[in-house]
Amino acid sequence: MLILLPPSESKQTRTRGSALRPEGLSAPGLTPARDRVLTALSQVSERTDAAAVLGVSPNLTAEIARNTRVRSAPTLPARELYSGVLYDALDLASLDAGASRRATARLRVVSALYGVVRMTDRLAPYRLSMAVNLPGVGPLAGFWRPHLDPVLTGAAGRGLVVDCRSSTYAAAWTPAATSDLARRWVHVRVPGATHMAKHTRGLVARALCQDPADPRTPRALAELLAGAFDVELHDPRRAGAPWVLDALPG
């Protein structure tokens, strides 16, 4: 099972620690692409119009300036870097040893800067959205799509893809419409406000890390989650579209 998460806008920082080693991250084949985005981000963040280009508030001067120091800033594991509503609900720090191992194996964060990372990857804080058209790179979702396809297709293997991403990050990769993997792709949809959607997706990801079961069909996934959530599974709207699993805390 592959569980895809979006990153969070809010990120933790450290005052001490080792610097970023791009070649030491998982999916090392992404290193050249990561380097290209990192270089472009650093250059843009030095410009006077950086906030406008990055689509952030001009008041976030410290976060924009941090983008120029990603290569030298202290790093921390992705499981500690990302924070906010979804990650508070996921609460990786409180998982037992078995669930923590499953979180490392199953969870991936799709990132505008790093492409895709595992929870054990050591990352430097940054501020960059997948919606940005980054000078020198172009629209980031389109840039990452061909790079992420072999990585995530390989990571999914013969299992399910449980997609907890927002639409902004889902644009960076979806299974090929004609592939067998597309028939094992389930989008977790949460009716209601954005806050509730993030919180519930975090709870769903946590439940799937806590349970050693590895469902191989969308219907088996829905049955597994039905014990803790009110779920309703919808067939794909068309060939190549995901199954849709509506979920609310039970």
Alpha-carbon distances, residue 106 vs 35, 109, 122, 177, 225 (angstroms): 25, 10, 17, 22, 16
Return the pLDDT at 191: 85
Comparing CA positions, the residue from 90, 71, 168 lying closest to residue 129 is 168
Cα of 201 vs its chain's centroid, Å: 12
Return the pLDDT at 55: 97
Return the pLDDT at 194: 86
Residue 203 · residue 249 · CB < 8 Å: yes
Alpha carbons 201 and 114: distance in angstroms, whole number = 22
The residues of the chain scoring below 70 in pLDDT are none
Return the pLDDT at 10: 86
Residue 107 · residue 91 · CB < 8 Å: no
